[in-house]
Structure 1
Amino acid sequence: MSTWKNLLLQDSASPLMEQLSYFHDHAMMILVIITVLVGQLMITLFFNKFLHRFLLEGQMIEIIWTILPTITLIFIAIPSLRLIYILDEINNPMITIKTIGHQWYWSYEYSDFKTVEFDSYMIPTNEMNNFSFRLLDVDNRMVIPFESNIRLLVTAADVIHSWTIPSLGVKIDATPGRLNQVSFTLNRSGLFYGQCSEICGANHSFMPIVVESISPNYFSKWITKMTNI
Structure 2
Amino acid sequence: MVGASAMPAMAQELLGQPTPGGIGLQPAASKLKHDAIWFHDVILLPVITFITLLVLGLLIWVVVRYNKKANPVPARWSHNTLVEVIWTVLPVVILMVIALFSFRLLYDYEAMPEPDLTVKVTGNQWNWGYEYPDQGVPEFISNMLPEDEALARNVPYRLAADQAMVVPVGKTVRLLITASDVIHAVALPAFGLKTDAIPGRTNETWFKAERTGVYYGQCSELCGVDHAFMPIEIRVVTEAEFAAWVASKGGSMTAAADAEAEAAAAQAAAAQSAPVAEAADDTTADAASTEPAAAPAAAQ
Task: Specify whether residues 192 and 4 from structure 1 end up closer, same or farther in structure 2 by C-alpha distance, changes over 3 A only.
Answer: closer
- Structure 1 residue 4, shift from structure 2 partner: 8.2
Residue 135 (1) aligns with residue 152 (2): no
Alignment partner of 2:64 out of 41, 47, 50 = 47
Contact 1:186 / 1:213 at 8 angstroms: preserved in 2? yes
Give distance in 2, aligned partners of 1:31 and 1:62.
21
Give distance in 1, aligned partners of 2:212 and 2:89.
47
Match of 1:181 in 2: 204
- Structure 1 residue 116, shift from structure 2 partner: 4.2
Task: Specify whether residues 57 and 175 from structure 1 end up closer, same or farther in structure 2 by C-alpha distance, changes over 3 A only.
Answer: closer
Map Cα deviations across residues 11-54 of structure 1 (whole Å, 9 max, x no partner). Answer: 11111111111111111110111111111111011112367746
The more displaced of 65-74 and 10-19 is 65-74
Residue 121 (1) aligns with residue 117 (2): no
Contact 2:30 / 2:191 at 8 angstroms: preserved in 1? yes
Alignment partner of 2:133 out of 107, 111, 128 = 111
- 1:1-229 to 2 correspondences below 5 Å: 1=6, 2=9, 5-25=21-41, 26-48=43-65, 49=70, 53=75, 55=77, 58-128=80-150, 129-227=152-250
Contact 2:30 / 2:207 at 8 angstroms: preserved in 1? yes
- Structure 1 residue 198, shift from structure 2 partner: 1.0
Give distance in 2, aligned partners of 1:171 and 1:53.
52
- The AA in structure 1 aligned to 2:30 is S
- Structure 1 residue 165, shift from structure 2 partner: 0.8
- The AA in structure 1 aligned to 2:239 is P
- The AA in structure 2 aligned to 1:75 is V
Contact 2:135 / 2:251 at 8 angstroms: preserved in 1? no
Give distance in 2, aligned partners of 1:62 and 1:201.
48
Greater relative CO, 1 or 2 (CA 8 Å, sep 6+):
1
Contact 2:144 / 2:159 at 8 angstroms: preserved in 1? yes
Give distance in 2, aligned partners of 1:47 and 1:58.
20
Contact 1:20 / 1:83 at 8 angstroms: preserved in 2? yes
- Structure 1 residue 155, shift from structure 2 partner: 0.9
3-state SS in 1 of match to 2:249: helix
Percent of paired sites with the same residue: 38
Contact 1:89 / 1:183 at 8 angstroms: preserved in 2? no
3-state SS in 1 of match to 2:36: helix
Report which of the two has the higher share of strand.
Answer: 1
3-state SS in 1 of match to 2:235: strand
- Structure 1 residue 185, shift from structure 2 partner: 0.8
- The AA in structure 2 aligned to 1:33 is F
Contact 2:188 / 2:216 at 8 angstroms: preserved in 1? yes
Alignment TM-score, normalising by the size of structure 2:
0.71
- Structure 1 residue 220, shift from structure 2 partner: 2.1
Task: List runs of 5+ in structure 2 lacking aligned partners.
Answer: 1-5, 10-18, 253-300
Give distance in 1, aligned partners of 2:75 and 2:39.
45
Task: Specify whether residues 4 and 44 from structure 1 end up closer, same or farther in structure 2 by C-alpha distance, changes over 3 A only.
Answer: farther
- The AA in structure 2 aligned to 1:125 is E
Task: List runs of 5+ in structure 1 lacking aligned partners.
Answer: none
3-state SS in 1 of match to 2:62: helix
Give distance in 1, aligned partners of 2:244 and 2:20.
41
Task: Specify whether residues 145 and 130 from structure 1 end up closer, same or farther in structure 2 by C-alpha distance, changes over 3 A only.
Answer: closer
- The AA in structure 1 aligned to 2:33 is M
Aligned length: 229
Give distance in 1, aligned partners of 2:59 and 2:189.
38
The more displaced of 13-22 and 60-69 is 60-69
